Structure 1
Amino acid sequence: MHARTRIAAVVVAAIGALTVTACGSGSTVVDKPKEHAAAKADNGKDAKKEESAAPEVAEVGDTLTLKGYEDGSRLDVTVVKVADPGKPADEFTEPGSGKRFVGVQFQLVNTGKAVYSDSPSNGAQVADSKGQQFDSTFADITAGPSMSSSLKLKPGAKGLGWVVFEVPKTSKVDTVQFTMNSGFADQTGEWKL
């Protein structure tokens, strides 16, 4: 009996150490847009003027470049649209009492040299104006197709889909974050909503 207890304690300690190492080792938040949506729409006219007007933090329509933890793993991630509230796609899926769905449409473009294989919704979360954070949930909304739960992108390929979050009706959603490798990569992208 004591041997099992000791083994269980060692396993719990090892998992705890891995969790602390994976989540807290040198993580950085990337929020400077690669290119602002207004500069893209300008078609090259006054590009320098538009670039200087780009926001200091990424917003809906902006692209952030993020690195994964494997060599050659890199994505250009764009928050394309936000649906708040997101309407359930069927009568069987409803948010919990006092809650609503919020959908964020992401476009992921593999700009690295390695194949990107992940469940993108695992690395996404939203935060409200009070700082409360909410993970993604399994739900479909009428805004469009959900992001694949097992996305595989060869270099140059892209994926597009909605990630859904369940948040209190009274929360004002303020930011959305995305991290590669199911949330374990060192770089996290953040967009102001």
Structure 2
Amino acid sequence: MPRSRRPGRVRGSLLALALLVPAVLGAAPDGSGETISLTGNGPGLRLDVTLTQVVDPASPAGPEPTEPTEPTGSDRLVATRFRLENTGTAVYQDSPAPAAHLLDTAGQRFTGDDVPTTAGPAFPETVTLDPGGTAEGFITFRIPADAEPAAVQFALDTGLADDVGQWSLPLP
């Protein structure tokens, strides 16, 4: 029996349609900043995920402006702050950066990275949360300078879970 769909969720083959409709129609943010409950592929794996802040553009952090994390002249960094709360019965252990994607109005998809920015602390490479535990951190995206962010997505299991949360941008 299929599970019910709730606002902020995208499943299976509807993913492509859900990504293009807001960009094509110019839809206003719907549910941005809301908490979305997501399940993983393993038993008892559930997180409440909230996109709390977007910093665009974000400045790279580091002592040297020529570090490899600095965007090139044609790129910019966008930092997104997430709050993760383990509401399941299993321990959550995953890498949040590759679990997140930024979509632009042209339909391009960019995978999150652990690039440090001055926006705030990034998640560690691996986050481990016992049931009831929480973590907050930034996930950064490197996008073309002229790209217009349209949405951010997050899924458990390093982005491979069927349950995908989506937040429209810009946040209200």
- Give the 3 Å change call, closer, same or farther, for CA 97–177 of structure 1 in structure 2: same
Q: Distance in 1 between matches of 2:42 and 2:117?
A: 33
- Output aligned runs, 1:92-107, within 5 Å: 92=67, 93-107=69-83
The superposition leaves residues 83-140 of structure 1 with CA deviations (integer Å, 9 ceiling, x where unpaired) of: 0001111222311230000000000000000000000111101001111111123311
TM-score (norm. length: structure 1): 0.70
Q: Is the 8 A contact 1:29 1:188 kept in 2?
A: no
Partner amino acid, structure 2, of 1:144: G
Name the counterpart of 2:131.
155
**4+ residue stretches of structure 1 with deviation over 3 A?**
28-33
- Give the 3 Å change call, closer, same or farther, for CA 124–29 of structure 1 in structure 2: farther
Q: Is the 8 A contact 1:98 1:169 kept in 2?
A: yes
Partner amino acid, structure 1, of 2:99: G
Q: Is the 8 A contact 1:30 1:64 kept in 2?
A: no
Partner amino acid, structure 2, of 1:68: G
Q: Distance in 1 between matches of 2:131 and 2:140?
A: 26
Name the counterpart of 2:45.
73
Shift of 1:29: 8.4
Partner amino acid, structure 2, of 1:138: D
Q: Distance in 2 between matches of 1:164 and 1:108?
A: 16
**SS at the partner of 2:80?**
strand
**SS at the partner of 1:122?**
helix
**SS at the partner of 2:158?**
helix
Larger Rg: 1
Partner amino acid, structure 2, of 1:186: D
Which of 164, 167, 172 aligns to 1:188? It is 164
Q: Distance in 1 between matches of 2:157 and 2:61?
A: 28
Partner amino acid, structure 1, of 2:30: V
Q: Distance in 1 between matches of 2:115 and 2:53?
A: 17
- Give the 3 Å change call, closer, same or farther, for CA 30–136 of structure 1 in structure 2: farther
Is structure 2 residue 161 aligned with structure 1 residue 179?
no
Question: Gaps spanning 5+ residues in structure 1: where?
Answer: 1-25, 34-54
Which of 114, 117, 122 aligns to 1:146? It is 122
**SS at the partner of 2:151?**
strand
Is structure 2 residue 31 aligned with structure 1 residue 58?
yes
Partner amino acid, structure 1, of 2:102: V
Question: Gaps spanning 5+ residues in structure 2: where?
Answer: 10-27
Deviates more, 1:85-94 or 1:144-153: 85-94
Shift of 1:183: 1.0
Shift of 1:31: 4.1
- Give the 3 Å change call, closer, same or farther, for CA 30–186 of structure 1 in structure 2: farther
Partner amino acid, structure 2, of 1:74: R
Task: Quote the RMSD (CA, aligned, Å).
Answer: 2.1
Kindly, what percent of the aligned residue pairs are identical?
38
